Amino acid sequence: MRSVFRAVLTWRFALALVVAIVLWVRLTIAQNPEREDIYPTDIPVEVRGLAPTLLIANETGAVRVRISAPEDSWRRLQGSSFRATIDLSQAGPGLQQREVMVECSDPDVRLVSHSPPKVAVRVEETRTVEIPVRVNELGTVPFGFRVVGPPLVTPDRITVSGPASAIEKVTEAFVSVRMEELKSTVERSLKPEPRGASGAVSSVRIEPQAVTVTVQVEQIAGSKVVPVVPVVRGQPSAGHWLSGVVVDPPTVQIVGEPGLLEPLAVLSTQEIDVSGAQGDQVRTVTIVRPAGVSLVRDVPATVRVIVAALPGQQTRDVAVTAVGGTGVVSPLVVTVTLVGSQPQLQRVAIGDVLATVDVAGLVPGTYVLPVVIAPLEGVRIERIDPLTASVTIAVVVEGSPGDGALPGGTR
């Protein structure tokens, strides 16, 4: 009876345990459900087992994996949680196709599939050669400088390693130096570029990664820009003055030894003689330069010397004459101020300045009339003093001597 009772208890305990486990599993699945999907990050394919004398000459690529995992695992997963490899331990040179093996560090992750299942790689022997390093000079040094000897490269040879197919193309390495930027000796660390007959060669490694290039540059001639100063001598004609000088080109670039150029502030032209000049003088003259100094553009200078007449003013007493009839004028003389250039004023003779009052058509009587000065070429009438004159026209009496003119006549 006791054995039967014990058996019943055991059976009931086992049943309760199974029911509890089932309930726990269902509850766990409900709270952390399984999800199957493609992992969003591609996994790069790694190579293992490759002999040290061999290498991969192409890209191994990457695979995309489909997994099934609980939501907790999905949240914890990273790209580094996966590893995709191909085994090349038995591979030799040539094209190889191998299956991709994918592993995951999370034991709750089940790998469903991956694509592509296989990858093709080209296996080549590793070769190492030593090649010279040459300097590719881009452009030339600035004017007035020169390169002393060939550029020095240290070390002048480098080691190049890589696939045999790429190494066969490599003949030398180049470093490029822009010469137009150099005005003194420079020392630069540059990375060589392996090259062959068809140009740059990639997929190879170099050692060392950089070489030191030294380019010795010295200055053989200085250069500077200086103004051109015209040299003018002599005096213009009387009544004229030197109002300005214009030179073309106004400046020139000169070259020569730095010691010769340093004290030079200007360059002068040959002398230009303007003695007796009455107008502008245009001359083409040489730019004078010291020995050892040259012009970048060796051209003569064109100099224009501007000669202008001096302004002048004259005051003259001029007799006033009645025109268009007869009459007695008062005052007999007016003061006239003339303005113009001195040469023009000097050419005005005494008789060239005429002052008149117009009495034409007037009946006998006394009048105040404006004094008129006849125009003069190139001369301006600045002032007339007085501006008017009194004119008396007498009655003509028959039989009077002088045809009726008043004694003293007409002035």
Burial class (CB in 10 A: 0-12, 13-18, 19+), 69: buried
Rounded Cα distance between 387 and 369, Å, is 9
Q: Which helix (H) or strand (E) holds 31?
A: helix 2-31
Paired residues of 189 in beta bridges? 212
pLDDT on residue 346: 86
In the block, residue with structure tokens 């009455």: 278
Sign of CA dihedral 201, 202, 204, 207: positive
Please give the share of the chain, as a percent, with pLDDT higher than 70: 88
Rounded Cα distance between 63 and 133, Å, is 41
Rounded Cα distance between 160 and 204, Å, is 7
Beta-strand pair 311-323/355-358 = parallel
Q: Per-residue pLDDT tens for 366-407? A: 999 999 999 998 899 999 999 999 999 988 665 545 444 444
Q: Answer yes or no: are the C-beta atoms of 123 and 91 closer than 8 Å.
A: yes
pTM above 0.85, yes or no: no
Q: Per-residue pLDDT tens for 265-306? A: 999 999 999 999 988 999 999 999 898 888 888 889 999 999
Q: Answer yes or no: are the C-beta atoms of 74 and 137 closer than 8 Å.
A: no
- On the question of pLDDT at 411 being above 50, the answer is no
pLDDT on residue 107: 92
Structure tokens, 39: 């992992």
| Closest residue by Cα to residue 407 from 389, 394, 391 | 394
**pLDDT tier, 410 (very low <50, low <70, confident <90, very high otherwise):** very low
- On the question of pLDDT at 260 being above 50, the answer is yes
Backbone angle region of 117, left / alpha / beta, with phi > 0 → left and psi within -120 to 50 → alpha: alpha
Q: Which CATH number does 222-309 carry?
A: 2.170.120.40
Q: Which residue has the higher pLDDT, 358 or 24?
A: 358
| Closest residue by Cα to residue 258 from 288, 212, 220 | 220
Paired residues of 229 in beta bridges? 268
pLDDT on residue 402: 45
pLDDT on residue 3: 64
Q: Which CATH number does 125-219 carry?
A: 2.170.120.40
3-state secondary structure of 13: helix
What kind of fold does domain 34-116 have according to CATH?
A: RNA Polymerase Alpha Subunit; Chain A, domain 2 (2.170.120)
- On the question of pLDDT at 201 being above 70, the answer is yes
Q: Which CATH number does 311-404 carry?
A: 2.170.120.30
3-state secondary structure of 354: coil
End-to-end CA distance of the chain: 185
Looking at residues 253-270, what average pLDDT do you find?
Answer: 88
Under DSSP, the state recorded for 249 is: S
Least-confidence region, from 71-85, 133-147, 241-255? 133-147
